[in-house]
Amino acid sequence: MKELESLKFSNQFATLPEELYHKQIWSPFENPKLIHFNNELATDLGFPKNQNPEDLVPYINGNKTIEGSAPLSMAYAGHQFGSWVPQLGDGRGILLGQLQTKGGLMDLHIKGAGKTPYSRFGDGRAVLRSTIREYICGEAMHHLGIPSSRSLIMIGSNEPVFRETTEFGAMMVRVAKTHIRFGHFEYLKHNNKSEFIPILLDHVIENYFPELKSSKDGYTDLFENIVNSTALLISKWQAFGFAHGVMNTDNMSVLGETFDFGPFGFLDDYDPGFICNHSDHQGRYAFNNQPSIGLWNCHALAAALKDHIEIERTKEIFKNTKIFKRGITNFWKKLGLKRKKGKF
Annotated catalytic sites, by residue? Answer: 250
Contact 304, 180 (CB under 8 A): no
Separation CA 179–CA 76 (nearest Å): 11
Q: Is the dihedral of CA 204, 207, 212, 216 positive or negative?
A: positive
Q: Are 76 and 89 in contact (CB under 8 A)?
A: yes
What's the chain's Rg over C-alpha atoms?
Answer: 20
The number of angstroms, rounded, from the C-alpha of 170 to the middle of its chain's C-alpha atoms is 19
Rounded Cα gap, residues 111 and 130, in angstroms: 11
Angle of helix 290-305 versus helix 197-208 axis, rounded to 10: 120
In this structure, which amino acid lies at residue 176? A
Which one-letter amino acid corresponds to residue 298? C
Residue type, 272: P
